Amino acid sequence: MLYAELDGPVTPAMADLLDKALTEARERGARLLLLRLDTPGGLLESARSMVQAILNAPLPVAVWVGPSGAHAASAGVFLVAASHVAAMAPAASMGSASPVNLGGESMDKTMAKKVQNDILSLLRSIVAQRGRNVEWYEASVTEAASIDTAGAVLGRVVEYAANDPDDFLAQIGARGVPFGDGTVRIDPARIRVEQLDPGFRHGFLSWLLHPQVAYLLFIGGLAGLFFELTTPGAILPGVLGTICLLLGLYSLSVLPTTVAGVLLILFGLVLFLLEIKIVSYGLLSVAAVVSLFMGSVILFRGGPHGFALPLSTVVVTVGGIALLLGAAVVLAGRAQRAKDVTGAGSMVGLRATVRSWQADQGKVLVRGELWNARSATPFEAAPGDPLRVVAVQGLTVVVIPEEAAPNAMDPHAPPEL
């Protein structure tokens, strides 16, 4: 017998793990696949894929909702319904399979009716085939009904109440598992239980498709690109930011993400960029923080499906990103307003010493270098006289007599020619 654990939201990662479990069970010649289930629900498409895999499995699939306190909510109801035999641990629960849209809001009546009818038709056929309580499974969709372990066993929602997998196997061994046209019987005393190793792929996908990880990758990627745009040539922030952003976008494309949330976060980044170019006295930065916060709050749908971001995560992340991007905005603004310290622009305001001069042009020495020089108006100058540089044009400096340039050392003062 092969044993596998399905924990967390129902996503493509969980569907991939179920496919792997069924493949290995077939290759090992296992007589039963036992799944431990604990899920808050998740994606309907992934649940459909898993239900189809169970219905077409080459061996019986048993589902145990456990340990105590575990639940099979929303999409998890479909997995229990599809199983050949099911059990729940004491204090476990199951139910609330009503569909909601990807934004978490109520659907319009027409769309809600279509989705509900589609789900109900799937559940009716599965539950009737397994001989379970069709009325309760319908109520879990139409009325968001939930049920505890005792009620589930008494109401024929599941077959057994089991404290642990060994207890479940012992009860299965006494009655067997209906499969196909017959019954598969196992001897708990002789059966060998092998646990499935999920492997690196499942671990990585499960981590990547966690809502908080997807959110942090998306925000971190945007922050990295922001630093690359404000400090061109840094390279590392841009490379890491691009990798994080691509991984985050993949996760968001799989998870139930709201378009409005993504756009608000992107708009916040744009506002931070505009703060560098426009003098808003901090108003754009404040608006950017508000946009980031609101976008983060509504990025994933809430409710009982396990995709809502904790408010503490949103506050800490937005606060940290706001401080980092705000610091980058301040530094970038100072750099744009600062006087040049290298290149030709750094020579404006420096003292030049005459080497030779005639009318309005000659040779001058600036910072130990000999430059061609000219002035806008002719004046008399002898070798050794001091002048001031007011502009640089190619390989020629524009100079004026030092006594005529009282503000020459101020880089923001207009040159006097």
Going from N- to C-terminal start, the domains of the chain cover 2-196, 210-337, 344-404
pLDDT at position 337:
58
Q: What percent of the chain has pLDDT over 70?
A: 88
pLDDT at position 410:
47
Contact 27, 50 (CB under 8 A): no
User: Which of the two residues, 244 and 235, has the higher pLDDT score?
Assistant: 244
pLDDT at position 240:
93
Which of these ranges, 50-64, 71-85, 114-128, 331-345, has the smallest mean pLDDT?
A: 331-345
Contact 352, 365 (CB under 8 A): yes
- Taken in order 336, 339, 343, 347, the sign of the CA dihedral is positive
Q: Parallel, antiparallel, or unpaired for β 146-148 and 93-95?
A: antiparallel
pLDDT at position 106:
45
pLDDT at position 242:
93
- Can you tell me the mean pLDDT for 229-256? 87
pLDDT at position 111:
66
What pLDDT, in 10s, does the model give residues 169-178?
999 987 889 8
- Can you tell me the mean pLDDT for 234-259? 89
What pLDDT, in 10s, does the model give residues 309-324?
888 889 999 988 888 8
Mean of the per-residue pLDDT values of the chain: 85
Closest CA to 87 of 185, 25, 172, 174: 172
- Can you tell me the mean pLDDT for 216-244? 87
From the DSSP assignment, how many helices (H) and strands (E) are in the chain? Answer: 13, 16
Question: Is it the case that residue 107 has pLDDT exceeding 70?
Answer: no
φ and ψ at residue 180, rounded to 5 degrees: 65, -130
Alpha helices (H) along 177-258: 199-208, 211-230, 236-254
The tokens 């139930």 sit on which residue? Answer: 256
User: Which of the two residues, 189 and 19, has the higher pLDDT score?
Assistant: 19
The token pair that represents 5 in the structure block:
């654990």
Does the pTM surpass 0.75? The reply is no
Contact 149, 88 (CB under 8 A): yes
User: Which of the two residues, 366 and 187, has the higher pLDDT score?
Assistant: 366
Which of these ranges, 318-327, 334-343, 364-373, has the smallest mean pLDDT?
A: 334-343
- Can you tell me the mean pLDDT for 183-195? 83
The token pair that represents 379 in the structure block:
């004046």
Contact 95, 68 (CB under 8 A): no
Residue 372 CA to residue 360 CA, distance in Å, equals 11
SS3 label, residue 49: helix
CATH topology of domain 344-404: OB fold (Dihydrolipoamide Acetyltransferase, E2P) (2.40.50)
Question: Is it the case that residue 295 has pLDDT exceeding 90?
Answer: yes
CATH number of 2-196: 3.90.226.10
Which of these ranges, 9-18, 87-96, 176-185, 285-294, has the smallest mean pLDDT?
A: 176-185
Which of these ranges, 102-106, 225-229, 377-381, has the smallest mean pLDDT?
A: 102-106
Length of the chain: 417
pLDDT at position 327:
79
The tokens 């539950």 sit on which residue? Answer: 127
pLDDT bucket at 335, cuts 50 / 70 / 90: low
Q: What percent of the chain has pLDDT over 90?
A: 43
pLDDT at position 100:
56
pLDDT at position 345:
65
